[in-house]
Amino acid sequence: MKCRKCGEKAVINMRQHKLALCREHYLAWLPEQVERFIEKYKMFTHTEKVLMAVSGGKDSLGLWHILKTLGYNAEGLYIGLGIDGGAGYSDESRALSEAFAKEHGLILHVVDIEQKYGATIPELAVISNRGQGKPCSVCGLNKRYLFNRVALEGNFDVIVTGHNLDDEVAVLMQNTFNWAGGYLARQAPVLPGGAGLARKAKPLCRIYEREMTAYCLLQGIEYIYAECPHAEGSTTIYYKEVLNQMETDRPGTKLQYYVSFLEAKKAGLFASVEDKAVLHPCDRCGQPTSAPGECAWCRMWDRVRLVKTTVPVSPESVSLL
């Protein structure tokens, strides 16, 4: 297989794009694609301050590398979740994120949940009784909350995550099977900010997971291979497997599904279920919440404090940066 651009030996064949490229042309092509989508979906500009949420995985570290290559002004944010899984999952992902930032001269902010608030995510899951003791729900709540607070406290214009096409399509499939109109209306490459919410963008929403793996391997970026131990057996992983089978049989299926969804949305298919919820500032921390009063995050930490005295009396007033 030869590179379409120069005729040298190709290192990757992307059947979904009918395109094979050599190392040099692939490493130039992928950032160009990402920049095209950043501009197409009006995610952010070169003069804006970007907060890149990094997990130590290939998508977020690869994307941070791409943003730097493209000349964007992106600082990183790593949230320490205290997940061990027998192999020190959080410790390793933090070490890899810190090593990456150091090697590339980038600023990384670290918020360690146990250090700041006195309990790890797995502990929170058991004590708070959210998500039937499984950590994923409290983990999501804390990540969303902390991403937003750090973005606002640090005057960032936008918070960027490494969700790739495979992630987006798995969620899309799940939401389509449930006809979850509200979620479908909200799933987008960029969510505008306002009312105390920072803008959120997913520059890899049209990039295949395999394309990110290739980018990191070819760039020599060291990332954590292991998935979160709590993700095992999740519905998302099941949908990813089904979608991979479909993609093998018909290359381009995932991209086609996602792009057609965005077109249908643009044409107004989900307009009637668009989220018009009014947000209120939480009485305690000031972060936006759907019901007046205290937000779910403040209430959750209050419950945990009843059991764990290491939790500060006012977790909302602990400074993050």
Backbone φ and ψ of 197, nearest 5°: -105, 135
Among residues 171 and 228, whose Cβ is nearest to ligand FES? 228
> Rounded to whole angstroms, how far apart are CA atoms 60 and 204?
9
When CB distances to ligand AMP are compared, the closest residue is: 162
Half-sphere exposure of 224 (CA within 13 A, CB side): 22
CA distance 233 to 191: 29
Q: Is residue 187 exposed (0-12), middle (13-18) or buried (19+ Cβ within 10 Å)?
A: buried
Q: Two tokens at 219?
A: 């760039």
Q: Determine if 75 is a binding residue for ligand AMP (CB under 6 A).
A: no
The binding track of 34-53 with respect to ligand AMP, each residue x by CB under 6 A or -, is: -------------------x
Residue 6, binding choice from Zn ion, ligand AMP, ligand FES, none, Cβ under 5 to 8 Å by partner class: Zn ion
Cα four-point dihedral sign 270, 201, 37, 96 = negative
Of 205 and 282, the one with the shorter C-beta distance to Zn ion is 282
Give the footprint of ligand FES on this chain (CB under 6 A).
81, 135-136, 139, 228, 230-231
Which one of ligand FES, ligand AMP, Zn ion, none is in contact with 139 (Cβ closer than 5 to 8 A by kind)?
Answer: ligand FES
Residues 208-227 that bind ligand AMP (CB under 6 A): none
Cα–Cα nearest to 115, from 305, 296, 307, 310: 310
Residues in contact with 215: Cβ distance below 8 Å, sequence separation at least 6, in sequence order? 26, 27, 30, 58, 62, 65, 66, 221
DSSP 10: -
Q: Pick from 54, 66, 212, 300: which binds ligand AMP (CB under 6 A)? A: 54
User: Binding to ligand AMP by residue 150, rule CB under 6 A?
Assistant: no
Tell me whether strands 199-201 and 190-191 are parallel, antiparallel or unpaired.
antiparallel
Q: Decide whether 59 or 316 has the Cβ nearer to ligand AMP.
A: 59
> Is 82 among the residues that bind ligand AMP (CB under 6 A)?
no
Is 311 an interacting residue with respect to ligand AMP (CB under 6 A)?
Answer: no
Positions touching Zn ion (CB under 5 A) are 3, 5-6, 8, 22, 25, 282, 284-285, 295, 298
Minimum distance from residue 161 beta carbon to ligand AMP (Å): 4
**3-state secondary structure at position 197:** strand
Residues 233, 94: contact at Cβ < 8 Å?
A: no
Q: Which CB sits closer to ligand FES, 231 or 307?
A: 231
**Which H or E run contains 218?**
helix 209-219
Nearer to ligand AMP, 14 or 81 (CB): 81
Segment contacting ligand AMP by CB under 6 A, of 55-63, 67-75, 254-262, 266-274 = 55-63
Q: Which of ligand AMP, ligand FES, Zn ion, none does 295 bind, CB closer than 5 to 8 A by kind? A: Zn ion
Query: Near ligand AMP by CB under 6 A, which window of 57-65, 150-158, 182-190, 265-273?
Result: 57-65
- The footprint of ligand AMP on residues 224-253 (CB under 6 A) is none
Tell me which residue of 189, 191, 218 sits closest to 206, measured CA to CA.
189
